[in-house]
Amino acid sequence: MPDFCAAYGCSNERSLQTRALLFLPFLRFPKSGELRRQWELALKRDDFVVNNRSLVCSDHFHKEDFDRTGQTVRLKAGAVPKIFNFPGEPLVLSESCDHLYALPSCPKALKSKLDAASQMVRKLQREKGNAMARERRAKKNMRALLEELKDKNLINEELKDKLECYSGKINNYIKYIFFFWVCY
């Protein structure tokens, strides 16, 4: 004989056929009086009397309500079903403010958001300019060192060309990394 979930509007059933098809744990009402009463109140069903065969499916619990540390999945102590589909409940939509489509409704908030974005752009442009200046100074120092080594006959033209070749590849790699750092 199939068992049905006691929650309002829930059509989940436990039978031999559904056990084989999907893993949906059904939980018996607690035996302790206070916790059992909390479960009854959470269901919000008039004239519902809990008996020893009354069940609630796991769809009505949050994932955090389960203890999954061992081989068997157990309900944590004191957990109460909280997820229900009651009729006439207003749908609560959360407004995400971190997307472009979520612009503030008042002009002052919009202006402050624009100012913050402009300030961030100026800061990143300043950082980019500083990084480019550091790169120019490093290249200038490298060229000066190469010339000094050549003047002291510690390096020949072939080694100088190889060093310059590798320094170009390293600089391109640094530019590539900097580009992605600025973009993200």
Degrees (nearest 5) of the Cα angle 64, 66, 71? Answer: 135
The 3-state secondary structure of the chain, one letter per residue: CCEEECCCCCCCEECHHHHHHCCCCEEECCCCHHHHHHHHHHHCCCCCCCCCCCEEEHHHCCHHHEECCCCCCEECCCCCCCCCCCCCCCCCCCCCCCCCCCCCCCHHHHHHHHHHHHHHHHHHHHHHHHHHHHHHHHHHHHHHHHHHHHHCCCCCHHHHHHHHHHHHHHHHHHHHHHHHHHHC
What one-letter code names the amino acid at 41? L
What one-letter code names the amino acid at 53? R
Over residues 80-102, the mean pLDDT reads 66
Q: What is the pLDDT of residues 9-58, one digit of tens each?
A: 888 877 776 665 556 678 888 887 888 888 888 888 878 788 888 888 88
The tokens describing 67, both together, are 């203890």
Across all residues in the chain, what is the average pLDDT? 77
Q: What is the pLDDT of residues 98-133, one digit of tens each?
A: 565 666 677 888 888 889 889 999 999 999 999 999
The tokens describing 114, both together, are 């624009």
> Could you tell me if 104 and 113 are in contact, meaning their C-beta atoms sit under 8 angstroms apart?
yes
Task: Say if residue 66's pLDDT is above 60.
Answer: yes
Give the Cα separation of 79 and 56 in Å (integer): 12
> Could you tell me if 6 and 43 are in contact, meaning their C-beta atoms sit under 8 angstroms apart?
yes
